[in-house]
Amino acid sequence: MRGVVFDGEQVQVVDDLAVREPGPGEVLVAISAAGLCHSDLSVVDGTIPFPVPVVLGHEGAGVVESVGAGVSHVAPGDHVALSTLANCGTCPECDRGRPTMCRQAIGRPGRPFSRGDRPVHQFACNSAFAERTVVKAVQAVRIPKDIPLSSAALIGCGVLTGVGAVLNRARVDRGDTVVVIGTGGIGLNVLQGARLAGAVRIVAVDANPAKEAAARQFGATDFLTSAEGVRDLLPTGADHVFECVGRVELIRQAIDLLDRHGQAVLLGMPRATAEASFVVSSMFLDKAILGCRYGSSRPQRDIPLYAELYRQGRLLLDELVTATYPVEDFEKARADAEAGRVARGVLTF
Ligand SMILES: [Zn+2]
Ligand SMILES: [Zn+2]
């Protein structure tokens, strides 16, 4: 079968990839569509160190082909969106509703794929850039069949991360003020999360003025090309500032824009050893800096919720997809993503 494999040197679309049958508690999914997220490119450029060879891709949707022993929540033919969270479901963190904190869900990459007799790693417990992949049952979330799989594909990373950060982590409330720095795939989802939460003023900041129309479509009430103008709109600062770029100077700006009791939520990914600084006394007024893994999501709850909000027209998915490519055109999709020409490119199988 076809798949997108990174061997440590180059990315190739191969057609000699195989995947093993699902074991107990696993699901084999035929992928229909998968979004190209910046994290896939971060594996290729080394920002995210990962063992190779590896099948890329980590936000996808498709059709269940077969299930292993003990799997009863999905059946062959069901449409599913995949999460990257292979949490165990039995540890204290899982049990308290924090599957993103499950220690079983971090690290430990499996190798369900092979080329010839050589095993190939799975990226983010997912590897959606393959015609078929095997995931843990907990990662396969059933969605209604009337949702296009190319749209549902985006829920598993960008939507869970961006909307989840607003609803689950920051818990933005009706009437709150929100600033979103960076309006790429994650930033747009933060914007629509803030709209869903009932934020009254939602200020998008992006150096690229061409992003304004999309930002407003997703919920921004104001758009600025620099954070400098935020104080004119919000003289006492913002209740929530989301940094979605991953640059330390923008993290500092996010903290400096906080109102009393405000919180800065860090969603961008600078290199692993990056350090940021802030004025300690600026934290005294009950301010906070929050990390956030994967939108603090509970995928079996959140994915069906977002699917239903999409059906009601309250959550945008189709508008996130700015281009679709057959998987063979991965290189073009990658070039478009790297040049910032697309909010989200989707590969189809
Ligand atoms: Zn991603
Ligand atoms: Zn667990």
Band of pLDDT at residue 48, cut at 50, 70 and 90:
confident
Identify the burial level of 59 via C-beta atoms within 10 angstroms of its C-beta, where 0-12 means exposed, 13-18 middle and 19 or more buried.
Answer: buried
Spell out which residues have Cβ within 5 A of ligand 2, the ion: 87-88, 91, 94, 102
32, 149 contact by CB (below 8 A): yes
Cα(96) to centroid(ligand 2), Å: 10
In this predicted structure, what is the pLDDT of residue 73? 97
Cα(85) to centroid(ligand 2), Å: 10
Cα(189) to centroid(ligand 2), Å: 27
Half-sphere exposure of 333 (CA within 13 A, CB side): 28
Alpha-helical regions (H) of the chain: 38-45, 92-95, 149-152, 160-164, 185-197, 212-217, 230-233, 248-256, 299-311, 330-338
Output the CA–CA distances (angstroms, integers) from residue 331 to 11, 102, 216, 217, 306, in the order listed.
Answer: 8, 35, 30, 29, 30
Q: Mention every residue, 6+ apart, whose C-beta is less than 8 A from residue 90.
A: none
In this predicted structure, what is the pLDDT of residue 302? 98
Phi, psi of 157 (to 5 degrees): -125, -65
Residue 262 reports pLDDT greater than 90: yes
Output the CA–CA distances (angstroms, integers) from residue 79 to 18, 76, 123, 138, 307, in the order listed.
Answer: 22, 9, 21, 14, 12
State the Cα–Cα distance between residues 232 and 265, nearest whole angstrom: 22
Angle between helices 330-338 and 38-45 in degrees, nearest 10: 100
In this predicted structure, what is the pLDDT of residue 38? 86
The string of pLDDT tens digits covering residues 183-217 is: 988 999 999 999 999 999 999 999 999 999 999 99
State the Cα–Cα distance between residues 193 and 197, nearest whole angstrom: 6
The mean predicted confidence, pLDDT, of the chain is: 95
In this predicted structure, what is the pLDDT of residue 41? 92
Cα(238) to centroid(ligand 2), Å: 35
Residue 342 reports pLDDT greater than 90: no
State the Cα–Cα distance between residues 54 and 32, nearest whole angstrom: 20
In this predicted structure, what is the pLDDT of residue 272? 83
Which ligand is located closest to the Cα atom of residue 85? 2
The string of pLDDT tens digits covering residues 213-234 is: 999 999 999 999 999 999 999 9
Q: Mention every residue, 6+ apart, whose C-beta is less than 8 A from residue 61.
A: 31, 32, 33, 34, 79, 80, 81, 82, 143, 149, 150, 152, 153, 155, 156
Query: Rounded to an integer, what is the distance from CA 187 to the centroid of its chain?
Result: 10
The string of pLDDT tens digits covering residues 99-155 is: 999 998 877 789 999 999 999 999 999 999 999 999 999 999 999 999 999 999 999
Spell out which residues have Cβ within 5 A of ligand 1, the ion: 37, 39, 157
In this predicted structure, what is the pLDDT of residue 64? 98
Phi, psi of 4 (to 5 degrees): -105, 115
Cα(165) to centroid(ligand 1), Å: 14
Residue 260 reports pLDDT greater than 80: yes
Three-state DSSP class for residue 336: helix
Prior bond of 24 cis (ω within 30°): no
Three-state DSSP class for residue 263: strand
The string of pLDDT tens digits covering residues 67-95 is: 999 999 999 999 999 999 999 999 999 99
43, 106 contact by CB (below 8 A): no
State the Cα–Cα distance between residues 299 and 288, nearest whole angstrom: 26
